[in-house]
Structure 1
Amino acid sequence: MIRHPHAGEDARRIAEAGTVLLTQVGSGVHGTAIDGQDDRDELGLCLEPVEFVAGLARVRTPGGREIGFEQYELHTAWSRSRGLAEPSGPGDLDVVVYSARKWARLALAGNPTVLLPLWVPDAEVVEVTAAGAELRAGAERFASRTAGRRFLGYLRSQRDAVAARRTRARSGGASYAAKPATHALRLGLQGLELLRTGRVTLPVPPPERERLRSVRRGEWERRDVEAWIADLEADLAAAVERSDLPERADRVWLDAWLTRSHREFWAR
């Protein structure tokens, strides 16, 4: 039995009833997926019933505990023999639906993954309501130097993963950890675009997209990958300081959206 606290039936019902936006967010939407090697990641947000916001209602977890609702998760890998210990693999589906209030907190903090549903192309939108469309239309309100710093922090985390997982070149194999290297480079490119233009283009435009895919396929020398990461890190750190974007996202606008959207949802 799945006992992850956010996988319960109570959480599923809230997510399904209140979802305002759900999109693909993984390598498929970035344009860096390699055929047969990737799972599918979806991320969204939902409005909560009034008793979970104004009252003390809680959801029951698969383990029988009662907790406040913050998100719902579905990972098809969990249905296999190892349960929660089973990592996602090619063809698996990973879904996270946050409460709108938790999503808002993460978005205000500039979380790169949480911001992606604002920018994905229409073809990658799985579900959207009028409230979700309004949120996407206001995407520029989330562009900030704070977000730029988070992109930089995520880049450095993936850079460290590359350094920690150096591999010896094998016949037909890469001499570096290809997946975190690709993530680090993508974050650098997207962070720079955000700071310079106030948005992120998805998928990554050419020619950088093909360069990222070749890194993912393990076709580069390790020193060249690490040099590109270092260049992007330096450029992104400098861009954070030079950017004309506001320091923080538009909290006043987002607060008004949350309040209005919840009230309209409850009225229905």
Structure 2
Amino acid sequence: MKHSDPAFARIAEHGMILRCEVGSTVHGLAVDAASDRDEMGVCVEPPEYVIGLRHFEQYMYRSQPDHVRSGAGDLELTVYSLRKWTRLALDGNPTVLLPLFVPRDAIVTVTELGHDLRAHRRRFVSRRAGHRFLGYLRAQRERMEGVRGGRHTNRPELEAVHGFDTKYAYHMIRLGLQGVELMETGDLTLPIPEPDRSWLRALRRGEHTRREALERTHDLERRLSALCETADLPPAADAAWADRWLVDAYQRSWASWPDGASSAPSSAGTSANDPTT
């Protein structure tokens, strides 16, 4: 993968300010011990990658080779540069927002800057985020109904057993539930609260039909569409604050580093099972 360069791994390791789990387990939706582990990190890249000529946006690691599906115990890790993560979070990307809301026991690494970022999570919540949730939800529903091109499954084994990809369906409904909660409360509860958690787990096991899944999706889509216009949230995230915070964060980080990107110190946070070391 183009983002798995060893130099990028070192940048991710040295500059990590926040790393956490973002997959099924953190949502409370894993149904067996065969789940892989998805993690996301945010790192401060060295100055030559920000104001110099070098370029870094993200580092990616998979414990399985390319084109091999992850299985039990496998790790998929994506570490974004702080600037790229912030751009995506300000735009309301549903997956990128998750590190702001995961519970403490889902955090692998966190520094003072990481704590500070999470403390300001409400700065990133806006009706624009609701539109992003809605867009992903609608696209997935249309693919499942066959009215939009593109693949809606890579799990033929689930289609063979249940008649449709139950994992795709539960991700689709999860997006709707979380988008509605974010617009109504300005927050995301992780793991997903009951009774929705049990309903989604049952869907993943094939205990609800494709028709039931689509009916619930349509209902969530209608609710979320209305909330995107009426929610008591700002129309866009606080980009002016984020701009000031980024400048300060980079300056504070670089002031504590020795000269040279390769000698940047490791994160001061707590870390475990780190493939970048």
Alignment TM-score > 0.5, same fold:
yes
1:171, distance to aligned residue in structure 2 (A): 11
1:152 alignment partner in structure 2: 134
2:269 alignment partner in structure 1: none
2:108 alignment partner in structure 1: 126
1:89, distance to aligned residue in structure 2 (A): 2.4
Find the aligned partners of 1:108 and 1:145 in 2 and give their Cα distance.
Answer: 11
**What secondary structure is seen at the aligned counterpart in 1 of 2:18?**
strand
1:38 alignment partner in structure 2: 35
1:173, distance to aligned residue in structure 2 (A): 2.8
Matches within 5 A, 1:236-255: 236-255=224-243
Which amino acid is the alignment partner of residue 56 of structure 2?
Answer: F
* Equivalent of 1:10 in 7, 11, 17: 7
Find the aligned partners of 2:159 and 2:215 in 1 and give their Cα distance.
Answer: 23
RMSD in angstroms over aligned alpha carbons?
2.0
Find the aligned partners of 1:204 and 1:213 in 2 and give their Cα distance.
Answer: 11
Larger relative contact order (CA 8 Å, sep ≥ 6): 2
Contact 2:159 2:165 in 1 (8 A): no
Find the aligned partners of 1:88 and 1:158 in 2 and give their Cα distance.
Answer: 22
| % identical aligned pairs | 50
Q: Give the paired residue count.
A: 250
Contact 2:125 2:233 in 1 (8 A): yes
Find the aligned partners of 1:161 and 1:43 in 2 and give their Cα distance.
Answer: 26
Find the aligned partners of 2:32 and 2:248 in 1 and give their Cα distance.
Answer: 42
Contact 1:158 1:183 in 2 (8 A): no
Find the aligned partners of 2:223 and 2:161 in 1 and give their Cα distance.
Answer: 30
Find the aligned partners of 1:113 and 1:222 in 2 and give their Cα distance.
Answer: 24
1:51 paired with 2:45, answer no
1:105 alignment partner in structure 2: 87
**What secondary structure is seen at the aligned counterpart in 2 of 1:96?**
strand
* Equivalent of 2:197 in 189, 201, 209: 209
Which amino acid is the alignment partner of residue 7 of structure 1?
Answer: S
Find the aligned partners of 1:199 and 1:110 in 2 and give their Cα distance.
Answer: 13
Q: 1:159 to 1:37 in 2, by over 3 A?
A: farther
1:135 alignment partner in structure 2: 117
1:257, distance to aligned residue in structure 2 (A): 1.5
**What secondary structure is seen at the aligned counterpart in 2 of 1:102?**
helix
1:115 alignment partner in structure 2: 97
* Equivalent of 1:73 in 60, 81, 90: 60
TM-score by length of 1: 0.89
1:224 alignment partner in structure 2: 212
Find the aligned partners of 2:143 and 2:159 in 1 and give their Cα distance.
Answer: 23
Query: Unpaired segments of 5 or more residues in structure 2?
Result: 147-151, 257-277
1:172, distance to aligned residue in structure 2 (A): 9.4
